[in-house]
Structure 1
Amino acid sequence: MNSTMITNEFAKMRHLHSWLLAVALLVVPTVITLYIGVVNPDFDRTTDSAWNALLAGFGGALPLAAPLLLAILASRQVDVEHVGGGWLLSSTHGVTPGALCRAKFLALAAVVTGSTVGSSALAAGTGLLLGISAPWPAGRWIGCTAAVLVVNLVLVALHVIVSARVENQLVGLGVGLLGTILALVTSSLPGWVTHLVPWGYYAVATGAGYVESELVATTPSVLSIAGLAVVAAIAFGVLTHRFDRQEA
């Protein structure tokens, strides 16, 4: 894979106006985070509860907004190959379907990383502008952002594979919608259930949450998130290399 392939994917994004989805992935979670956090009765500018409320809001905003937006972003990026005969055209230039999928993932990963980190930064910056006097919990905030980003990237990889295998774009969108429901439902289920589907990992990526009606600081499960990343990376590598062999 070379930089030209990734540059071509960015060019396709401009043609598809994918920047609108990237902006939505930045703005929508931020708005939901601030709404959930600021209207929270536990939001007290003089105590750590204010930051916990915002972190809980961020942890609740991503499962609500990200799964479907990521599904749309990835499915559009892949569907252009189905519609325009891009798979065949790329193969004539020596680019296998698997390599093309990997290039798409890397390009999408850059966009999703920017939107996710930007949303987190906007939420933290707004908290400071609101005059929260308690120290900013940098470690938990950065840890939560990194954990959520890993989940987002795993979902991007999933949707690239689904969209490459199934030409009907509605299938990918259906998976994204189902993922939104699963992300919301699994957050209230036992911990082992959240590990059964990738969307459930949003629940272990949060930096604050409620325990018996009390808002408390939590730490994202590093082992769980790392395990998800490893499994997803291996699965994505295996599946895209199968695409290569099929082309051969």
Structure 2
Amino acid sequence: MSALLEVDGLHVRYGDLAALRGISLRVNEGEVVCIIGPNGAGKSTALAAIAGGVAPSAGEIRFDGESVVGRRPEYIARRRVSLVPEGRHIFGTLTVEENLRIGGYMRGNRREALDDMERLLMIFPRLRERLTYPAGRLSGGEQQMLAVARAVMTRPRLLLVDEPSLGLAPLIVDQIYETLLDLRKRENLTLLINEQSSTRILKHADRIYVLRGGQVQLDGRAADLRDGEAIKHAYFGFGASQTTETAA
């Protein structure tokens, strides 16, 4: 399986604070890979660096074989990497339709973008019902759906999703994950998802990285980590760093 994303020895600093300390990870085309870890582990920083929003102090990020370190977010987005940020960051005063159109603004073919929006409204019928509503009036779950749909409007190959379950009821979170997995098949997406909880991740991910203190404490196939013990030890810091598979 070919690597779509390769991160090697990535360091990110915020002044004197080391947010990431030499992390390495790999995402193969078509995979669902999840990064889990407690608050402050560096999960959001990792996604921000991949998307070009944070400049690494050292290390390498390659997308489809090309180094994207130092590239602007607009360039990386045009390479078909799209980020669904933590907290969703929708435009609350704009309508649902206007938010979706913003997602397609970089697209050269306006007809294709409109066709994609129609297809996404079939996947997200609640958004169709609220197409003319200001996005700020949507529920938390609906806003998360809008944030995902807006990102997919860019036609990404790699979709980065930061804390999709944040602040949502368990039933809504299940719906969000079902939709993400459906989009993976329909849109040929590769997914890299950040989460705090491992419960759903173990059901849906192909591979898992546990991040704590800005370092990878554990990585492996979800199928090999079903009992959750190794994840618990890595997450809470019981014992040494572990790897259940190589990244190669």
> What TM-score do the two structures reach when normalised by structure 2?
0.23
Q: Which structure shows the bigger proportion of residues in strand conformation?
A: 2
Larger % of helix: which? 1
The structure whose Rg is larger is 1
After TM superposition, the score normalised by the length of structure 1 is: 0.23
